[in-house]
Chain A
Amino acid sequence: MNVDNKFILGGQEFQSRLLVGTGKFSSVEVMLAAIKASGAQLVTVALRRFNLERPSDDLFSPLVRLGVTLVPNTSGARNAAEAVRAAMLGRELSGSRFVKVEIHPNPHHLMPDPLETYEACKQLAKAGFIVLPYMPADPVLAKRLEDVGCAAVMPLGSAIGSGHGLSTAEMIKLIIADSGIPVIVDAGIRAPSEAAAAMEMGCSAVLVNSAIAAAGDPVAMAAAFAQAVKAGAAARQAGLMAQSGHAVATSPLTSFLAGIPA
C-alpha cells in the first residue's frame, strides 16, 4: 500500500504530486505559465541535437529560473545502451540525478520495451541515478524494477498522447497493492477527473503533458489538474466508503406516514 503522507522521491520530499511534461506547447511562454499554474516541482524534458540553425533556442535557462527540478527523459533511445547514454548526457545538462527512462522502439504505439527498460534501469540505479521508468502497466515488471533500485514506477494509463485515460486501471491497482515505492501514472491522461481517479486509487503522483499542452487553454487546464490531483490525494487519505452490492439507506425508513390520517 502506498499513499503516505509525504511524497518522497530519491530521498527528496515534494509538495506537488503533479509532474508535468514540456512537449507540444505552442510556445515557451505558454509552457512556463502552465508549469507555474500546475504547481509542479518535477518537470520532464527531452534531449535533442542542438539546433545549429537556431542557436538562440534555449529551453533550459527559463526552466532553471522557474526553480523546478528537471527530469530529463531518454526519449529517442531504442535500447538500454542508448538510454544509459542519454541519461548521462541529461545529467550533465540538468545537474539533476533524476531520469525518466523511456524506451519505445515502435513509433506507432510507443509502448515501452520491458526488457530494455529493465536493463537500463538496473544500470542507471547502480550508477546513482534517481530512476523513474515509464513502463507497461505490468505488476511483475513493476516489482522487478523496484528490486533493481528504481525510485518509482510509472505505468502507463494508456498510449502516450492518446487521451484514453486509465484504460489499465485494474493493473495499476495491482501494482499499487504490491509496491514498496511510489507509483506514478504516466501517459494517457486526458481529464483532471482521471488524475483524481488515479490518486484515489492510491497512486503517489501523476505525470501529465499532452492533456495540458493540447488543451484549449493550457494554463487554465494546468490549474485544473493541480486541483484534481490535490482532491484525489485528499480523498484517498480520507478513505473512500466501502461499496455495497445493494442499496444502503441514508434516511430512516420507518413507515411513520402510514399512521397519519390523510
Chain B
Amino acid sequence: MGGASKWGAFFMNIMVNGNKHDHTGSGSLDTLLMELGAKPDAVAIMVNDQVIPRADRAGITLKDGDCVEVLSFMGGG
C-alpha cells in the first residue's frame, strides 16, 4: 500500500507494464512518464484497461493499485 515516504512526498504502488512500480510523483501521467524516462509524444497509455486519449491525459490522477500500460511503436510489417 502507498503512503508517506521518508522524503515526505506521497508514493503509491502501481503496476506498470505488468511490473510493480513505486511512484513517488504527484500521480499525474506526466510525472509517471518522466519517472520512466518515456517521451510523452512517443507513447500511448492505458489505465486499468481503458485507452487514455492524449487530450485526457492531464485530467488523470493515478491511485494506489492502478494498472498502467505504456506502449510504444516498434518495427512491424
Are A89 and B71 touching (Cβ within 8 A)?
yes
Q: Which residues of B contact A161 (CB under 8 A)?
A: 77
Considering the complex, give the chain B residue whose CB is closest to the CB of A76: B76
Given A56-B37, A85-B51, A46 and B75 touching (CB < 8 A)? yes
A161 nearest CB across to chain B (Å): 8
Are B72 and A48 touching (Cβ within 8 A)?
yes
A88 to B51, CA, bound (A): 7
A86 nearest CB across to chain B (Å): 9
Q: Which residues of A contact B36 (CB under 8 A)?
A: 50, 52, 55
What 1/0 mask marks residues of chain A from 180 to 224 whose CB sits below 8 Å from any chain B CB? 000000010000000000000000000101100000000000000
Kindly identify which residue among B44, B69, B77 contacts A93, using a CB–CB cutoff of 8 Å: B44
What 1/0 mask marks residues of chain B from 37 to 48 whose CB sits below 8 Å from any chain A CB? 111011111100
Are B43 and A45 touching (Cβ within 8 A)?
no
Given A50-B36, A58-B39, A60-B41, A207 and B17 touching (CB < 8 A)? no
Q: Which of A22-30, A114-122, A136-144, A243-251 contacts B (4 or more CB under 8 A)?
A: A22-30
Q: Which residues of A contact B77 (CB under 8 A)?
A: 21-24, 44, 46, 73, 75, 160-161, 187, 207, 209-210
Interface size class of B (residues with CB under 8 A): 20 to 34
B42 nearest CB across to chain A (Å): 4
Kindly identify which residue among B52, B72, B75 contacts A58, using a CB–CB cutoff of 8 Å: B72
- The 3 nearest A-B residue pairs measured at CB: A46-B76, A21-B77, A55-B37
Which residues of B pack against A, CB within 8 Å? 16-19, 36-39, 41-46, 51-54, 69-77
30 contacts between A and B (CB under 8 A): A21-B75, A21-B77, A22-B74, A22-B76, A22-B77, A23-B76, A44-B76, A45-B73, A45-B75, A46-B77, A47-B44, A48-B71, A49-B71, A50-B43, A50-B70, A50-B72, A52-B19, A55-B36, A55-B38, A59-B73, A60-B72, A72-B73, A73-B76, A73-B77, A92-B51, A93-B43, A94-B73, A160-B77, A187-B77, A209-B77
